[in-house]
Amino acid sequence: MTWVHAISRRVKVRDPRAESGSAIVEFVVLAVLVMVPLAYAVLVVLEVHSATYATVTAAREAGRAYVTADNTSAAAARARAAARIALADQGLPEPHLRITCLDGACLSPGSAISVEVKTTVPIPLIPHGDGRGSIPVSAQHTAPVDSYRRS
């Protein structure tokens, strides 16, 4: 008898009940090892998506608030308040807001403004002390000033 036959006989002789229930244990262990990181990745993607949506909304609303104001000092305050409200709705920190006037004076008829909003979204379950536990998110929006606006 060769060594191949001896090994094949040993494999066939094993009691099938000896490994009863081990498949379910292996499945549970593998499922946990795969599903926990996958669920965490989905959680991070959803947080970043929420922050991106809030940042785009903040830029758009800040632009609208700015171009509908009566003067530039009130316009800047209104734009900052609109951006702050849009980001606070999603639980994000105070934004960095930059407003740039395009095509001449800021509120002159036919001109436009550009609004850039920058913020950070904290990554879930990571300490935020050193700044590495967050992802920067930014959005830019250009808002035209109405051509029929009174100067």
Q: Looking at residue 31, what is its pLDDT? A: 87
Query: Residue ranges of the domains in the chain?
Result: 23-144
| Lowest mean pLDDT segment, chosen from 75-79, 87-91, 100-104 | 100-104
pLDDT band at 13 (very low <50, low <70, confident <90, very high): low
Inter-axis angle of helices 22-67 and 72-88, to 10 degrees?
A: 170
What rounded mean pLDDT belongs to the chain? 85
**Residue 151 CB partners (closer than 8 Å, separation 6+):** 108, 109
What is the pLDDT averaged over residues 96-119? 90
pLDDT of 14 higher than 60: no
Give percent above pLDDT 70 in the chain: 83
Burial class (CB in 10 A: 0-12, 13-18, 19+), 50: middle
Q: Looking at residue 93, what is its pLDDT? A: 87
Q: Looking at residue 151, what is its pLDDT? A: 63
Q: Which of 71, 62, 124 is nearest to 96 (CA)?
A: 62
**Residue 96 CB partners (closer than 8 Å, separation 6+):** 117, 118, 119
pLDDT band at 100 (very low <50, low <70, confident <90, very high): very high
The per-residue pLDDT for range 58-79, each reduced to its tens digit, is 999 999 999 999 888 899 999 9
Cβ pair 103, 111 in contact under 8 A? yes
